[in-house]
Amino acid sequence: MRCDDFRAAFLAGDLGDMHFAHLSGCEACRAAQEDLATVGDVLNDPDVWQRPPPGLAEQVVAAVSPPAPTGRAVRWLRLAAAVVLVVAGIGLVVRALPEGADWEVELFATDLAPQASGAVKGWVTDGGTRVALEAAGLDPAPEGFVYELWFSSDDLHVSAGTFTRPDGAQGWVGVSRADFPRLWITLEAVDDDPGPSRTTVLDTNP
Amino acid sequence: MAHERLMRRFSRGEAAACRELYEMYGRAVYVVALKALDDRGLAEEAVQLTFLRAWEAAARFEVGRDPGPWLYTIARRVSIDLYRRERRHRDHHQGTTEIVALPPSIEDTWDTWQVRAALDRLPADELEVVRATHFLGLSHTETAGKLGIPVGTVKSRSHRAYRRLAGLLAHLREASA
């Protein structure tokens, strides 16, 4: 009997007298028993047979290589650009607000952007909150993507606006920070998904 | 040589090379993260972070090396970071400040990686027999019925598969990352 046949039978759980006879005379197979038993344990672990969801490959490739916008994406990119312009327009108003903000909160780096840092200032108004972002260590959003500032309370997320250049971006949100204590910034593909992506670059609770 | 060509393209920033690397190792990364984190959503996040970090570090990768152990090391590190992050959040909400100890499952992930990577190199017909035995818990007769093939074919495929696995995993401990 060859060592390969013994080891195959071991993994199959199908050892017979001739296999034990081989084992008694084969030091290499005796030494391999512990590893073979480990392999058998892993094969019996349900985790090793799980599959990632089908769409994960596309998400991975998209994360490393922002796609060029095409068709519908171009239309959304134009919409996003309009939003950015609106946010910039609000920024002119914000600069006219008093020096002291009503609140200021620090944003911390995440694993996706470990060099980033930032802070958000807020001015409470009758209808909501005007916000201004100061950020460092973040590049402008790549083509086909925008940054988005979120106010969140548990699983409820409200956008305060999108922008392509993080530092100096300003926006408005119709909720209060007291009710939505978590502030965070994601990188969003320009698409029709209204919710936050999982690509978080700054967060009050990283 | 195939690895070398792939990693040369990967280090040049070719998105198609990233997809090929994912096809080769994505499932192994996912399984390791799932083993470490015991949460499908976190495991998916770990897969994305692993390939993103590999992408960012690709220029420093020696293209002649096997990318498997390198990816495993990144995946393990990412999983540990995510595990600690989740524990910090949980402790914050519970008002506790315990030192975050890693779960024992983290230590077993190298074995898991190697076995999953070896399974991914089996021919499809051999892999489905091994899966039927270990994941579905079927006998050879039941496997034959499920796959619609003779019992003798199941036995021969099974023997070939285990011989191949034993060969691929002959140095489980020596190959430690």
The predicted-structure confidence for B8-54, as pLDDT tens digits, reads as follows 888 888 888 999 999 999 999 999 999 999 999 999 999 999 999 99
Q: Do B27 and A51 touch (CB under 8 A)?
A: yes
Facing residue for B134 by CB, picked from A8, A44, A59: A44
Facing residue for B51 by CB, picked from A39, A45, A64: A64
Nearest CA in chain B to A43: B134
How many C-beta neighbours within 10 Å does residue A72 have?
A: 11
Each residue's pLDDT, cut to its tens digit, for chain A (206 residues) gives: 788 888 999 998 888 888 888 888 889 888 888 889 999 999 999 999 999 998 888 888 887 765 444 444 444 444 554 444 344 433 333 344 456 788 889 999 888 788 888 999 888 776 667 888 888 888 888 777 888 888 888 778 888 878 888 777 877 777 778 878 899 998 887 776 777 888 888 999 88
Question: Burial, B165: exposed, middle or buried (Cβ in 10 Å; 0-12, 13-18, 19+)?
Answer: buried
Percentages (nearest 5) of helix, strand, coil residues in chain B: 75, 0, 25
Give the model's pLDDT for residue B1: 62
Q: Which residues of B touch A61 (CB under 8 A)?
A: 15, 18-19, 22
How many C-beta neighbours within 10 Å does residue A132 have?
A: 20
CA distance to partner chain A, nearest, from residue B34 (Å): 7
Q: Do B162 and A51 touch (CB under 8 A)?
A: no
Q: Residue B50 has which token pair?
A: 């692993």
Facing residue for B165 by CB, picked from A39, A52, A53: A39
Confidence of residue B150 (pLDDT cuts 50, 70, 90): very high
Q: Do A205 and B48 touch (CB under 8 A)?
A: no
Whole-angstrom Cα distance, residue B167 to residue B54? 28
Query: Hey, is the C-beta of A43 within 8 angstroms of any chain B C-beta?
Result: yes
Nearest CA in chain B to A7: B166
- Across-strand partners of A109? A202
Q: Which of A1, A56, A186 to mutate to test the interface with B (most CBs of B within 10 A)?
A: A56
- For range B61-82, the mean pLDDT: 90
Q: Do A35 and B131 touch (CB under 8 A)?
A: no
Helix, strand or coil for residue B120?
Answer: coil
Give the model's pLDDT for residue B33: 95
Encode pLDDT of B42-58 as tens digits: 999 999 999 999 988 88
- For range B95-120, the mean pLDDT: 80
Q: Do A43 and B48 touch (CB under 8 A)?
A: no
Mean pLDDT score of chain B: 87
Give the model's pLDDT for residue A89: 36
Number of H helices, E strands in chain B: 8, 0
Question: What ipTM goes with this model?
Answer: 0.89
Q: Do B111 and A42 touch (CB under 8 A)?
A: yes
Facing residue for A8 by CB, picked from B44, B78, B163: B163
Give the model's pLDDT for residue A86: 42
> Which stretches of chain A are DSSP H helices?
3-12, 17-24, 27-43, 56-64, 72-95
Facing residue for B27 by CB, picked from A41, A52, A205: A52
Pairing of strands A156-163, A117-124: unpaired
CA distance to partner chain B, nearest, from residue A58 (Å): 8
